[in-house]
Structure 1
Amino acid sequence: MKNILLFFLLFLISIVSYAQGIGPSPGGKWQLITFGGFSFPFGNYKGDVGKAKNGTMVGITADKYFLGNKFALGLDFRAFNHEMCTCGDVYFANGSLVAKYDNATRFRGLNLMFGPTYQYTIDEFGIEAFVKGGIMFQEFPKYSHVLSVNNQAEFLPEETNNPTNSPKSLLGNAGLRFSYQINPIIALFLQTDYMNTFGSRLGDENGEFHYKKYEQIKDIDRNTSLSESGGVILNLNEYFNSNPKDLKTNIKAINVLAGVKFALAKNRKTNIPEIPMVVKPTEQMKNILVVVKDKLTGMPLEGVSVFIKSETGTWNFLTDVNGEIPIIKNAKRAIYFMSGSKNSVGTTTASIAEKDFDEDSELIYRELLHNDPRFTLVGETVSQKDDSKLPNINTALTNLTNSTTRSQISDTEAKFAYQLAPESDYSVVAHQFGKFSQTEKVSTKGLDRSETFYVKLKLPVGDIETGKTFVLKDIHYDFDKSNIRPDAALILDNVVSIMKQNPSLKIELSSHTDCRGNNAYNLILSDARARSAVAYIVRNGIEKNRLVAKGYGETKLLNNCYDGVRCSEVEHQRNRRTELRVLKYDR
């Protein structure tokens, strides 16, 4: 902003110097304008999405008139600043809801526009109407609201999610200018105009301001008490809707401005005085690059918060897929300190001394190491039908060793991540109204942390619909038995959870055998196993009238492995299954 104001001042001095001693132009004149004033946001940009406050604007315009000084074409260059409303923090018995700002709390823009102007004058009074279009170079604020409970669990009910905080956007501008001519050269004016960016993209950049928000359904105040267990906020759904809203807005404002117009003749030569230039000694500046790596594997780490501080300023960054922060360009000679954090585990620290700026290289490189002995599960929620990505799905991870559960909603790219302890078994499911997922098992047993950092998983999710059938994976019974084993109980617990989330759901739970053995006996055994599974679900809180147990024996084989046909064990295994069929479901 200082550079902009300096350029504006020098341009104004040049205009005044040129205007002295020249008369009115007999033909098409040049008109140079300087102005400043106030800018008033409105709509979503001022409301809940942008939260922009009234601000200021300065600018310059150059118009070339034709046709008896009635019509003109001109360039308009202006800068504006809108501070952002900041909300108050809330502190309650076991936590807080606070705002975290990652950069300046303001919207700022540089506008470069071109367009026509029509002028009508009566004696000393004039009115001009103009329409212009161009490009706005924008700067967006970046912030989030952090709900923290017992310093153990966090949730972000609101956050900006712009692809970039410095996008470009197409811009439209129209307005009226009312002027009074003091002499043939100088006029004073008042101006009001309407400014609006439009279109969602300019090239590869998205020019809209994006904001993700979970609607609050219950106030949080100092008397609030939230429950937390194992890093998970248990009663979050009492205060926020489970599905976020993706909000967006363009920059739009009404501007009220005042300024001076200079009419410049083209038949006089201008003697512009030279402005002495003060040459300062060249500062020693360097570019700074910081990379974060996993200490145990040496792999670059994405998503690490890196904090850099010096007497010249502070910076907060998130590392990219290469473990790098954006390069800090033209950093001034100073002492710098840097550190990082991911998943509540800090990195090593590093520093830059002033003597490092004396080195020949233009780049100063520093490396931070992150030492977290846990594994990282990187998951993706996908459609059971076509494997396409399904964002905003609530997932739950259960440690089967200590029975602790954590939950997380997959992001806009359908990604979710959990930290996994060594030598442990876990289950992962999707808990979402109207959705069904298998219980997927994940284990870190036998994995070497020095060789493996990421554990990857796809979690298929399907829609619950009347008549639809799902095969329940990994329900096994002991030979010639129908009792529910612990590993089968884990799968049935997921069925219990799905039925509690969907109270209108009624199902048939069926058991199937392969063709080996006596047909009548297989029918009796499968029916006993189906009844045993239904009894387990009823014992865990589901009404009996919502369940039907059915044993089909070997009557519904999925392949051609009938009596007398030689088949592999894999082919027989496909027929030994437990199925869930939706008898009735109302959304």
Structure 2
Amino acid sequence: MQTKTLTLAGGYRLTGLQHICCLIFSVVLLLLSMGVFAQTLQGVKEPISGKGFRFGLNGGYDLFPDYKNNTPYIRYQGGLSTGATAGYYWKWFSFGADVDYIKNRPQNQYPTDSVFDPVNNFLIKDFTLQQQDITRVFYGIGPGVHYTNREGRFSVDLNGRAGFASIKGGSLALTGKNGSTEQVLNYHGGYNINNALSFKGSLRAQYFFNDFIGMHVGAYYLRHLDTKDAVGPAGYSAAYRAFEPNGDGMRAFTEKDLKTINKPCNCDISSIGAYAGISLRLPTRKKTKIPASVAPAPVEPCNTCQVYALAVTARDQYTKEVLPHTDVAVKDASGNVIRSGVTNAFGVIVFPNMTPGSYVINGKLYNVDLAPAQAAKNEFIANGTLQKELLYTDQNFILKGNAVVCNTATALPGATVVLRDRASAVEKNTQTDNEGAFIFHLKQKAEMTVFGKKEKYFSQMVNITAADYNRNTTLFVKLEMCMEETDCDKAIRLENIHYDLDKYFIREDAKPELNRLVQFMNDNPGVRVELSSHTDSRASHAYNQRLSQNRADAAKVYLVSKGITASRIVAKGYGETRLLNRCADGVTCSEVEHQFNRRTEMKVICPGR
């Protein structure tokens, strides 16, 4: 039996198994580069089917091993794993085989501090731990189900395997002594099993860079049934000394002899792990059946044939800037779309291998049609490219916005964005995409307000005046709108809530910010808020307390006048009790520092309060 002695210090070196795992992951990175390069060279092919052989090599980590046995003071560490899989795949079903190698290590849990031997009447101070790694080799076969996308590049597998496992090693022996007297404290005989009935389930995701090479990640659950403990040379599979604390704060044995267990525990072993690796396959391609009546006749190779191409540029008529992401369609004389696509970052799309003819070219940007262009048959250039231009002639602006969490660059997808006409109160709505982006068309001379709606978010309200922009120089009006998350009891400062000296009536310049709060409460009808007012430290405490309460009450009255139920608002004046800086009584501060403490805040009241 190969054993290892517990040490308290020492260096760490890679084991042979760890070298293998490092090599596998290096091969994965190499094949990733080769796959991308190969895919670039191959260009576009017919999509492959889900049928064919697939193979995989992987390395990973056995995260949560669970060994049931007769030794109470022992646990097991996770360890590295390697494996291979092979199978044949049909459209939805597969059948295959797996081989896995897993290594774990037993870990002593018997406490070695203040262990007292009452029989020999001494404190045990010298301990020796011998332990042996456990190796498991599983081999099994079984069915699986999978989903492979239409292009054959991505798939998800759910596989089941049944088979047998070889489980070896795992012995542990802890002894303690004082002088020449040595005591066995904790012992387990390990395992020596050749064919343990085992079951495995795994979930795996694969991505193929080309027709043959890919990579995968996955997780597994492996269970071995009725795994017997090995019986050691002393005739038992497990032994330990039971102990209990005594009055001196030490752990003392409760009996003289070891508790020995002669009958092995026919218990299960299970583990959960994760892995990654390379995937190989021998695919079959989807075959398209073409009726003989419409099958094209064989074409002889042509070395002198002429080729034609059409390039379309989308451009704004007024600013002359190019327009990416414009949908372009080429139609023949009968109105049939023969070619289509989207312009690139330079506003251009090229259609190769065109047949000279008369075409109408249409474009559309954000649901607005561009002025069409015409292409005549005699305009096409042999072995050259015909250039055509589509013009965006709409005189309105395009508002391109982004919704983010306030004071961060975090996008807010799925938020409702409202564009409200400030004169007529007419509203338009849209949703932010996965990057938090949104689009509106903005009429010239319009005066609009933009704000967002999302549960538990307090939106900024941005005013836009189209007259501030010149359509001859600007098409895209860019905007960033922030929304702040309203966790309960989180204070949010309301900006621009100003009061005249020693006054508490609501000024006109404070109403837009309070209107923002009105909008938030209308959008979240189940929310109650605390509206608080704060002063600086100047004047007496009693005067500041009274003034701040009057100002909070005035703000509440304003919200109620806008239709908010009074029971949803708690007005609270804090006076000078919650200063945000050093400017307390007796401290000399600038006017700017005092102004920082004069503020109005709102916070959502936690439910149940």
- The equivalent residue for 1:493 is 515
- The equivalent residue for 2:346 is 322
> Which amino acid counterpart does residue 505 of structure 2 have in structure 1?
N
Deviation of the 1:406 alpha carbon = 1.7
Whether contact under 8 Å (1:133, 1:172) holds in the other structure is: no
Q: How does 1:322-471 map to 2 (within 5 A)?
A: 322-325=346-349, 327-358=350-381, 362-384=384-406, 386-471=408-493
Q: State the Cα deviation string for residues 441-487 of structure 1 (Å, max 9, x = none).
A: 34444333333333333333333322111112333445554333455
> Which amino acid counterpart does residue 337 of structure 1 have in structure 2?
V
Deviation of the 1:172 alpha carbon = 10
Whether contact under 8 Å (1:465, 1:585) holds in the other structure is: no
Q: Secondary structure at the match of 1:493?
A: helix
CA gap of 1:276–1:493, structure 2 versus 1, over 3 A, is closer
Distance 2:393 2:565 in 1: 49
Q: State the Cα deviation string for residues 9-29 of structure 1 (Å, max 9, x = none).
A: xxxxxxxxxxxxxxxxxxxxx
Whether contact under 8 Å (1:420, 1:444) holds in the other structure is: yes
Deviation of the 1:429 alpha carbon = 2.0
Q: State the Cα deviation string for residues 371-412 of structure 1 (Å, max 9, x = none).
A: 333333322222337432221111212232332222211011
Q: How does 1:170-209 map to 2 (within 5 A)?
A: 199=205, 201-203=207-209
Deviation of the 1:569 alpha carbon = 5.4
Q: How does 1:238-277 map to 2 (within 5 A)?
A: none
Whether contact under 8 Å (1:492, 1:537) holds in the other structure is: yes
Q: Secondary structure at the match of 2:549?
A: helix
Distance 2:535 2:575 in 1: 5
Whether contact under 8 Å (1:310, 1:335) holds in the other structure is: yes
Whether contact under 8 Å (1:375, 1:453) holds in the other structure is: yes
Matching residue within 123, 127, 131 for 2:88: 131
- The equivalent residue for 2:117 is none
Deviation of the 1:113 alpha carbon = 6.6
> Which amino acid counterpart does residue 341 of structure 2 have in structure 1?
F
Distance 1:301 1:541 in 2: 45
Distance 2:432 2:482 in 1: 13
CA gap of 1:310–1:432, structure 2 versus 1, over 3 A, is same
Q: Secondary structure at the match of 1:529?
A: helix
Determine whether 1:540 maps to 2:562: yes
Whether contact under 8 Å (1:335, 1:354) holds in the other structure is: yes
CA gap of 1:578–1:439, structure 2 versus 1, over 3 A, is farther
Deviation of the 1:549 alpha carbon = 0.9
Whether contact under 8 Å (2:530, 2:569) holds in the other structure is: yes
- The equivalent residue for 1:482 is 504
Q: Secondary structure at the match of 1:395?
A: strand
Q: Secondary structure at the match of 2:311?
A: strand
Distance 1:473 1:554 in 2: 18
- The equivalent residue for 1:169 is 153
Between 372-381 and 281-290, the greater mean CA deviation after superposition: 281-290
Distance 1:444 1:533 in 2: 32
Distance 1:420 1:566 in 2: 50
Q: State the Cα deviation string for residues 343-395 of structure 1 (Å, max 9, x = none).
A: 554322222222222356x2222222213333333222223374322211112
Distance 1:444 1:561 in 2: 43
Percent identity at matched positions?
32
Deviation of the 1:416 alpha carbon = 1.0
> Which amino acid counterpart does residue 319 of structure 1 have in structure 2?
T
> Which amino acid counterpart does residue 169 of structure 1 have in structure 2?
R
Deviation of the 1:166 alpha carbon = 8.4
Q: State the Cα deviation string for residues 542-571 of structure 1 (Å, max 9, x = none).
A: 322221112234443322344665655554
Distance 2:594 2:442 in 1: 35
Q: What is the RMSD computed on CA atoms of the aligned residues?
A: 4.3
Q: Secondary structure at the match of 1:483?
A: coil
> Which amino acid counterpart does residue 202 of structure 1 have in structure 2?
F
Between 430-439 and 305-314, the greater mean CA deviation after superposition: 305-314
> Which amino acid counterpart does residue 131 of structure 1 have in structure 2?
Y
TM-score by length of 2: 0.49
> Which amino acid counterpart does residue 371 of structure 2 have in structure 1?
T
Distance 2:306 2:358 in 1: 13
CA gap of 1:294–1:518, structure 2 versus 1, over 3 A, is farther
Between 314-323 and 544-553, the greater mean CA deviation after superposition: 314-323
Whether contact under 8 Å (1:283, 1:332) holds in the other structure is: no
Between 311-320 and 465-474, the greater mean CA deviation after superposition: 311-320
Distance 1:444 1:567 in 2: 42
Deviation of the 1:204 alpha carbon = 10
Q: Which runs of 5+ in 2 are unaligned?
A: 1-45, 55-86, 92-148, 158-203, 215-285, 290-296
Deviation of the 1:336 alpha carbon = 1.8
Deviation of the 1:579 alpha carbon = 0.5
Q: Secondary structure at the match of 1:365?
A: strand
Distance 1:461 1:373 in 2: 31
Whether contact under 8 Å (1:284, 1:333) holds in the other structure is: no
Whether contact under 8 Å (1:434, 1:463) holds in the other structure is: yes
CA gap of 1:542–1:303, structure 2 versus 1, over 3 A, is same
Distance 1:411 1:581 in 2: 28
Matching residue within 556, 569, 578 for 2:578: 556
Whether contact under 8 Å (2:48, 2:152) holds in the other structure is: no
CA gap of 1:341–1:503, structure 2 versus 1, over 3 A, is same
Matching residue within 310, 317, 321 for 1:288: 310
Distance 1:536 1:323 in 2: 51
Deviation of the 1:330 alpha carbon = 0.8
CA gap of 1:297–1:281, structure 2 versus 1, over 3 A, is same
Task: Work out the number of aligned pairs and report it.
Answer: 349
Distance 2:444 2:416 in 1: 24
CA gap of 1:328–1:562, structure 2 versus 1, over 3 A, is same
Q: Which runs of 5+ in 1 are unaligned?
A: 1-107, 117-129, 135-164, 174-197, 208-254, 259-274
Deviation of the 1:339 alpha carbon = 2.4
Q: Secondary structure at the match of 1:401?
A: coil
Distance 2:498 2:565 in 1: 24
> Which amino acid counterpart does residue 443 of structure 2 have in structure 1?
A
Deviation of the 1:500 alpha carbon = 3.4
Between 554-563 and 425-434, the greater mean CA deviation after superposition: 554-563
Deviation of the 1:281 alpha carbon = 9.4
CA gap of 1:571–1:442, structure 2 versus 1, over 3 A, is farther
Deviation of the 1:572 alpha carbon = 4.3
Distance 2:288 2:347 in 1: 47
CA gap of 1:419–1:475, structure 2 versus 1, over 3 A, is farther
Whether contact under 8 Å (2:308, 2:382) holds in the other structure is: no
Whether contact under 8 Å (1:348, 1:369) holds in the other structure is: yes
Whether contact under 8 Å (2:153, 2:209) holds in the other structure is: no
